[in-house]
């Protein structure tokens, strides 16, 4: 055969199995076999992990095949750095995936995966994790241990929340969450109706202290101006009437609890240091520091909305 062969591409050839001849390729480091009919019994040669190929193989692409589970034989490829099994029929990720200690790139998008095993966090070199287009409903907090992770693709799943530990992924550069219920809800909650011309005029009168007397304006406008609410952001000093932005603020209660309170800002731009100037009972430490929920929300807003 070809004992010096290093790269083999048999993609799109209709293969239903890879023959034992592969085991005689001691220098093969890249095997591309995507878009075939692999997935049935005997699709992969026996003894794959024990053969010289098990030590030499670095890149394996089996996307677009018919695997219903991650083949156990692959878990013996201890030198594997890149594994692609996208567009198959996988329903789960085996906990033994943690045996692939050299893995840097893992692509499992376009399957039927419903959960992520915590053991996935035991891959010390994993930098790119693609789990998009699945049916994943939650993220295990252990993923925060993936300190090498640079890119995490979770778009088009069923996520309704993220664990707070996700904020510990300080080296994360890309986080894709579009097409999840949590993003739909988050964007909906951020919806902000621009102020009407009447509100803009009222804001101008109030913020610039334009003098007026009840005899100068119709009664309904005088009443409207009396309904102005001060923006709780001390750096703003603005007012609002009908157009405002909802935000949750966590407030210390009795020195032991942090309770969520809804308050309103005059514009999305005011969603930074949000201690209310009107709450004289607010503690100094609370006024001077942003709560963790606000930090997380702004970070998530930046990630989701660019």
Tens of pLDDT, residues 133-144:
999 999 999 999
Predicted TM-score (pTM) above 0.75: no
**Which residues in the chain are classed under CATH 3.80.10.10?**
7-188
How far does CA 142 lie from the centroid of its chain? 14
Q: CA angle, corner 269, sides to 152 and 211, nearest 5?
A: 170
Which of these, 122, 173, 129, lies nearest to 154 by C-alpha position?
129
Report residue 98 as tokens.
Answer: 């943690």
Q: Looking at the predicted structure, is the pLDDT value of residue 294 above 60?
A: no
CATH code given to domain 7-188: 3.80.10.10
Q: What pLDDT, on the 0 to 100 scale, is given for residue 293?
A: 40
Q: Looking at the predicted structure, is the pLDDT value of residue 304 above 60?
A: no
What is the residue-averaged pLDDT of the chain?
82
Q: Looking at the predicted structure, is the pLDDT value of residue 20 above 90?
A: no
Report residue 123 as tokens.
Answer: 């891959």
Residue in this structure with the two tokens 């942090």, named with its chain if needed? 258
Q: What pLDDT, on the 0 to 100 scale, is given for residue 263?
A: 76
174-176 and 229-230 strand pairing: unpaired
Read off the pLDDT of each residue in 191-219 and give the average, rounded to a whole number: 87
Which of these, 273, 295, 270, 271, lies nearest to 282 by C-alpha position?
273
User: Dihedral angle at the C-alpha atoms of 73, 79, 80, 81, nearest 10 degrees?
Assistant: 160
Read off the pLDDT of each residue in 54-65 and give the average, rounded to a whole number: 93
Q: Are 112 and 90 in contact (CB under 8 A)?
A: yes
Tens of pLDDT, residues 61-120:
999 999 999 999 899 898 999 999 999 999 999 999 999 999 999 999 999 999 999 999
């Amino acid at each position: 055969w070809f004992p010096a062969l290093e790269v083999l591409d048999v993609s799109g050839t209709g293969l239903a199995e890879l023959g034992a001849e592969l085991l005689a390729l001691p220098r093969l480091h890249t095997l591309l076999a995507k878009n075939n009919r692999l997935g049935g019994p005997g699709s992969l040669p026996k003894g794959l992990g024990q053969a010289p190929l098990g030590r030499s193989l670095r890149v394996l692409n089996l996307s677009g095949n018919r695997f219903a589970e991650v083949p156990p034989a692959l878990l013996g490829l201890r030198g594997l750095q890149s594994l692609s099994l996208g567009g198959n029929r996988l329903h789960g990720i085996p906990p033994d995936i943690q045996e692939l200690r050299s893995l840097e790139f893992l692509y499992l998008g376009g399957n039927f995966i419903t959960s992520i095993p915590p053991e996935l966090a035991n891959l010390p070199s994993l930098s790119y994790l693609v789990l998009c287009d699945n049916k994943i409903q939650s993220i295990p907090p252990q993923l925060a241990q993936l300190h090498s992770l640079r890119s995490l693709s979770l778009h088009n799943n069923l996520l309704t929340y993220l664990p707070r530990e996700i904020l510990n992924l300080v080296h994360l550069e890309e986080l894709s969450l579009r097409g999840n219920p949590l993003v739909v809800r988050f964007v909906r909650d951020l919806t902000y109706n621009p102020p009407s011309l009447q509100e803009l005029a009222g804001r101008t009168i109030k913020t610039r202290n334009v003098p007026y007397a009840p005899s100068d304006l119709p009664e309904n406008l005088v009443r409207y101006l009396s309904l102005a609410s001060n923006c709780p952001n001390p750096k703003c000093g603005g007012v609002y009437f009908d157009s405002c932005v909802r935000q949750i603020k966590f407030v210390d209660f009795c020195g032991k609890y942090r309770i969520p309170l809804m308050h309103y800002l005059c514009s999305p731009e005011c969603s930074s240091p949000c201690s209310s100037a009107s709450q004289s009972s607010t503690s100094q430490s609370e006024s001077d520091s942003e709560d963790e929920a606000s930090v997380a929300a702004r970070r998530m807003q930046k990630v989701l909305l660019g």
